[in-house]
Structure 1
Amino acid sequence: MSVLATVADRRRTSASLVGVSLAYFMVLLDTTALAVAGPSLMSTLHTGVVGVGWATTSYTLALASTLVLGGSLADRFGHHRVFAWGVLGFGAASLACALAPTLVVLLVFRTLLGLFAAGIVPSSLGLITALYPEPRARGRAISAWAAISGAAMAIGPVLGGWLIAVAGWPAVFVVNAPLALIVLLLCRTRVAIPRRARALSWLPHLGLAATLAAATLAITQAGQRSWIPAVLSGLLALGLGYATAAADRTSRAPLIPGALRGNRAVWTAFGWGAAVNYALTTVLFALPLLLDTATGVTLLPMTLLVAVNPLITGRLVAAFGSLRPIRMGLTAFPAGLGLVAVAMADHDRPLLLGVGLLLCGLGVSWTLPALVGFAVDHAAAETVGSVGGILNATRQVGATLAAAVAGATLTQHAGASAAFPFVFAAAICALGLGQALVTR
């Protein structure tokens, strides 16, 4: 192969990596930019905190319940094809969200956004694995992917706040359409990944979606102190969960491939992902509802680190392995959440809030890139698509539950009610740290 051909291949590989990263950036931007739109949504669509919560959870719920299916579809029909259709559908559904005249219509198209995002996320990890088969190069690529996509954390709240001020909350969705076109142009070169003729079974996937929806409804009803509907929804979630597990055991295409069922290391990474996303979503969802200031600027100590620090995390992983940055992140996150909780209980502590958000940013940026690499390194090559789907599904389950809990408990803007979501998230991260300390 000539030098020119090698350079051209590297440029195509780099362009594809940028495109894949921008696609995940787009998926995250949709959540982080909307996080500051709560007050605008409440005023224009005549809804309350619970309605804003459902605007968030309808997206994360659909994404969480279909990410495993997205990974299976990528393995079966091709990662590049599923990725491209997901990006195209995401851009179109975003424009539909911008035109939504009522909360109900917005929830319908937010759900569609989640479904298309479920095609993007697991296939993007599969594409990176194919583009960078060597572990060290793949680790650096995953860090770059995390840094570019993590920039959505920094840009999202600030950009969202500016767009909302200029044109209202619909502008948050319009920006996704040109981004989708740029991604399709960058990723126009097909990446060859062997397909696996896996069967698909729809019943377990539908059962998972129904279980998560019932659990979210139960949490929301409990927060409104509607105890009878909360208990009934909780019992329904338990029944649906049991039925889904039973259907999955007899399915010809189970949600969890056999090669992953006994893989303790990979499941540990899934748990870490759920804990980190729970904590991150708690901050992104709760702060805009509690603060009357420019939330996007307030979040910068956290979001800027999420955008920049993953590149350093990649070097840490290369030098010390994945576990050390995971432990560092799961130490920093609960400490930061504790400081945020104290600051929210007493609004006159901006310095304490800033330090807490800084520690939260270190927690996210140390943990997420490392645990992705940890999961991929401990999984068989033929299960990469499923690993990407399940890992992001568990992360979105954490995000969905966090939005539901925060929306249900934020009945006051000061004192214990304001601090509770952050304290609870800190406890969840502390449990993750305990598991990380005993993992070898």
Structure 2
Amino acid sequence: MTRTLEPTRAASGGLALTAISAGYFLVILDTTIVAIALDRMAVGLHTTVAGLEWVVDGYTVTLAALLMAGGGLADRFGARRSFQVGLAFFGVASLACAAAPTVAVLVAARILQGIGAALLIPASLALIRHTYPDPKDRARATGIWGAIGSTAASCGPVLGGVLSENIGWPAIFAVNVPICALAAVLLNRTVPPVLGAAQPIPVFGQAAAALAVAGVTATAILAGARPVPPGPLTVAVVAAVAGLLLGVHAARSGKGLLPNSLRRSHAFVGSSLIGFAQNFGFYGQLFVISLFFQRSLHYSPTTAGLALLPEMAIGIVGSALGGRMTARYGPRRVILIGMSTGAAGLFGLGCVGPHTPYPVIAIALLLTGFGMALTMPAATSLTVSAAGPAHTGLAAAAFNAARQFGSALGVAVLASLMTLTTGLALPLATAALVYLTAAICSRRIP
């Protein structure tokens, strides 16, 4: 009987992991697949660079603002239910994105996508823990889950280029719908319901964080628009200040998102700032480089996606090496090396012009992608170590929220700088300085 049941359990576990990983695959794919289709969106929707920034940041700001709330909802109502709702949101929103007639409708649909993503990420990790109770099996499943995320990030630009060039930019969103449907069917058949717990959700702190993240990002986007809209810019600044003040008040009154032990931990705060800086530079440069390839070098979307492949593919190698180096040398040294390498790559990209040979561009892309990926395992390890067993899940959610906020602000700031100067030097030098600052500050992390 045992010999008969074991293959069945293994097959069921494999299908369950496929369903869980599919949701995470979509969330990560969406952070890179959109970049290559931006130029085609600008033409099809008659929008500016500022409009494209909203298309990207409507998703990432929502994800950053609601990621911790998504973790709380998964704990309270059950991970499977939360994952199912996240898939529904993501699938319906993707269909709305594909059918969007204007940039305003597209941004609204992207916000709904962000809500779905904020439910999917924490629920997927919780489902892995529930589905694989054995620590060794869970470790292998988590490794596969992470590798699938890296694969999604790597293939996003190429897939985005092929789809947007040969079918049209709506195809990059429409491709999500059947994957969501398949994942939902597999989930219902292979993963049993997970009971929730009566966990309180810090609504006041969550609202303050969302207001601050949205206000700061909107300020950066609107400040780079030409002409600058004074009314909306004023509203954005007021929202940012109000969110920050409310966040401070929530923390002091015990209604914040993080316990005092995490807020006062230099290691945790340092790792969160490293995660913020990583995504600020990486996703900000991805936005401007993809437009540069298509508008200045006149690459087709497919060619632009292939041109970015070295930066994405090296991330798989860098991430694996970063994990081994962190185990051997500790996170601080790895963060210093990774962020310095990434800064060198960003400075190199800032020197790229219309007549720069592609092999030279590829070297800078390799350095940027390798540095970012090398740092990630070290920063994650530092986060988990600083949190301790009592707050590991909460610390991981906060760390990922900081990363997503870095992505949103990086796109807003670097795209605005590119608009102001019509070149790569200022935006990518800014990103490189952020990396260098993070590298220097990492030396003070305990």
Instruction: Find out whether 1:240 has 2:243 as its counterpart.
Output: yes
**Secondary structure of the residue that 2:200 maps to in structure 1?**
coil
TM-score by length of 2: 0.87
* 1:296 alignment counterpart: 305
**Secondary structure of the residue that 2:351 maps to in structure 1?**
helix
1:27-46 deviation per Cα after TM superposition (whole angstroms, max 9, x unaligned): 12122111111111111111
Does structure 2 conserve the Cα–Cα contact (< 8 Å) formed by 1:68 and 1:386?
A: yes
User: C-alpha distance in 2, partners of 1:11/1:434?
Assistant: 48
* 1:347-426 matched pairs, under 5 angstroms: 347-411=355-419, 417-426=423-432
Give the share of equivalent positions with the same residue, in percent: 33
Does structure 2 conserve the Cα–Cα contact (< 8 Å) formed by 1:122 and 1:388?
A: no
Give the aligned residue type for 1:181: A
* Residues 1:360 and 1:138: Cα distance change in structure 2 (over 3 Å): farther
- Which structure 2 segments of 5+ residues have no match? none
**Secondary structure of the residue that 1:199 maps to in structure 2?**
coil
Between 1:375-384 and 1:101-110, the stretch displaced more is: 375-384
Q: CA deviation at 1:223?
A: 1.6
User: C-alpha distance in 1, partners of 2:115/2:342?
Assistant: 30
* 1:36-435 matched pairs, under 5 angstroms: 36-130=36-130, 141-188=141-188, 189-190=190-191, 195-224=196-225, 226=228, 228=230, 230=233, 233-250=236-253, 254-291=256-293, 292-293=298-299, 294-344=303-353, 347-411=355-419, 417-435=423-441
Aligned residues: CA RMSD: 2.9
Does structure 2 conserve the Cα–Cα contact (< 8 Å) formed by 1:151 and 1:306?
A: no
User: C-alpha distance in 2, partners of 1:32/1:382?
Assistant: 33
Between 1:369-378 and 1:204-213, the stretch displaced more is: 369-378
* Residues 1:137 and 1:401: Cα distance change in structure 2 (over 3 Å): same
Q: CA deviation at 1:94?
A: 0.6
**Secondary structure of the residue that 1:36 maps to in structure 2?**
helix
* Residues 1:198 and 1:260: Cα distance change in structure 2 (over 3 Å): farther
User: C-alpha distance in 1, partners of 2:387/2:131?
Assistant: 17
1:153-179 deviation per Cα after TM superposition (whole angstroms, max 9, x unaligned): 221111111111122111000111122
User: C-alpha distance in 2, partners of 1:378/1:41?
Assistant: 42
Q: CA deviation at 1:321?
A: 4.9
* Residues 1:119 and 1:390: Cα distance change in structure 2 (over 3 Å): same
Aligned length: 436
1:1-40 deviation per Cα after TM superposition (whole angstroms, max 9, x unaligned): 9466555545544444444333222112122111111111
Give the aligned residue type for 1:281: Y
* Residues 1:337 and 1:131: Cα distance change in structure 2 (over 3 Å): farther
User: C-alpha distance in 1, partners of 2:21/2:409?
Assistant: 26
Q: CA deviation at 1:308?
A: 4.9
Does structure 2 conserve the Cα–Cα contact (< 8 Å) formed by 1:42 and 1:48?
A: yes
Does structure 2 conserve the Cα–Cα contact (< 8 Å) formed by 1:309 and 1:365?
A: yes
Q: CA deviation at 1:351?
A: 2.4
